[in-house]
Amino acid sequence: MFTVQTSGYEQATLTAEVVAFDVFDTLITRPFMRPTDLFLFMEAEYQAEGFAKARVLAEKLARKEIRQEVNLDEIYSLMDGKYRSLEEKEIELETEFSVADPYAKALYESVLAQGKRVILVSDMYLPESVLRG
């Protein structure tokens, strides 16, 4: 007879009544080392010199000025007009590159099968329509 090794996360869900998952970089991953690597990809792909740095700085500034979670429109409103057309491209690429993490998906499905209450949280700046899609 053998026993199946269970991870600490799986063990923790056994006694929990409610389990929360962060959506991005937990349930959903992208093929980049850091989330900001997408901006470097976009800069090269669309020949938008300086875009990556401008995009990071605009988000940082938006978070400082607004002092809460910001959305993509708020970020791009702080960027040079020459980059405005890249907002839709960013949404398209985030959608294209996002894939379910197989382990996290299995854990999520296990939690649902246990009848637990599940809460999905995200601090992602993408529009809600994209997140729900």
pLDDT for 118 beyond 80: yes
pLDDT for 5 beyond 60: no
* Of 39 and 122, more confident: 39
Residue 123's pLDDT is what? 76
Are 23 and 53 members of one domain? no
Domains identified in the chain, total number: 2
Are 77 and 105 members of one domain? no
Q: Which domain holds residue 83?
A: 32-97
Whether the CB-CB separation of 36 and 18 falls below 8 Å is answered with no
As a whole number, mean pLDDT of residues 108-121 equals: 92
Residue 2's pLDDT is what? 39
Whether the CB-CB separation of 29 and 19 falls below 8 Å is answered with no
Residues 6+ apart with CB under 8 A from 17: 116, 117
Are 11 and 52 members of one domain? no
Q: Which residue from 73, 100, 70, 98 is spatially nearest to 88, judged by alpha carbons?
A: 73
Tens of pLDDT, residue by residue over 76-101, are 999 999 999 999 999 999 999 999 99
Which range has the top average pLDDT, 45-49, 116-120, 129-133? Answer: 45-49
Are 25 and 70 members of one domain? no
Are 53 and 65 members of one domain? yes
Cα 87 from Cα 76, distance rounded (Å): 7
Are 14 and 49 members of one domain? no
Are 49 and 84 members of one domain? yes
Cα 112 from Cα 104, distance rounded (Å): 12
Tens of pLDDT, residue by residue over 16-75, are 899 999 888 888 999 999 989 999 999 999 999 999 999 999 999 999 988 778 899 999
Are 48 and 74 members of one domain? yes
Are 64 and 54 members of one domain? yes
Are 84 and 41 members of one domain? yes
Residue 133's pLDDT is what? 64
Are 72 and 120 members of one domain? no
